[in-house]
């Protein structure tokens, strides 16, 4: 089960520099900047805050996907849930009108270079005694 989630439609990557913070990018969503195949773009994606204590010796995994995380494609079976719970709660990105395969059915590539260094910002809070 994912502990934290973050989404960003790459064509909505425009940031508001006044509203953005080092730990929280703020996207304007006021223009569409389509991608060009083979042309890398930088994306700042907020991972929603969560609260978890990772015991000493445990690891945190990080997955970047071009689609939603789902257990096995089935509902998690939460009784009386208003929406299917497929691993990302009620959030799904499968509407064929909003996400046509002609645009969203391709492959995603991650680009890494000195000019486009990838990073994840994690707050490390030391234990208190």
Q: Which of 97, 31, 91 has its CA nearest to residue 67?
A: 91
Mean pLDDT computed over every residue of the chain:
84
pLDDT tens-digit readout, 67-123: 887 777 677 667 777 777 777 777 778 888 988 988 888 888 888 888 878 888 887
* Residue 23: per-residue pLDDT: 85
**Percentage of the chain surpassing pLDDT 90?**
26
For 26, the token pair is 């703020």
pTM of the model: 0.76
DSSP state of 115: T
**What's the chain's length in residues?**
129
Instruction: Count other Cβ atoms within 10 Å, centred on residue 74.
Output: 11
Give the Cα separation of 41 and 78 in Å (integer). 38
Tell me if 78 sits within 8 A of 85, measured CB to CB. Answer: yes
């Amino acid at each position: 089960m994912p502990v934290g989630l973050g989404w960003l439609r790459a064509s909505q990557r425009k940031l508001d520099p006044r509203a953005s913070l080092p730990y929280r990018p703020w996207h304007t969503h006021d223009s569409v900047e389509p991608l060009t195949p083979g042309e890398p773009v930088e994306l700042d994606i907020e991972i929603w805050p969560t609260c978890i204590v990772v015991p000493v010796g445990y690891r945190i995994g990080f997955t970047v996907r071009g689609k939603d995380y789902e257990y096995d494609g089935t509902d998690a079976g939460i009784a009386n849930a208003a929406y299917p719970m497929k691993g990302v709660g009620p959030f799904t990105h499968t509407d064929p009108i909003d996400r046509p395969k002609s645009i969203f059915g391709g492959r995603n590539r991650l680009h890494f270079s000195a000019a486009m260094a990838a990073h994840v910002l994690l707050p490390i809070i030391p234990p208190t005694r």
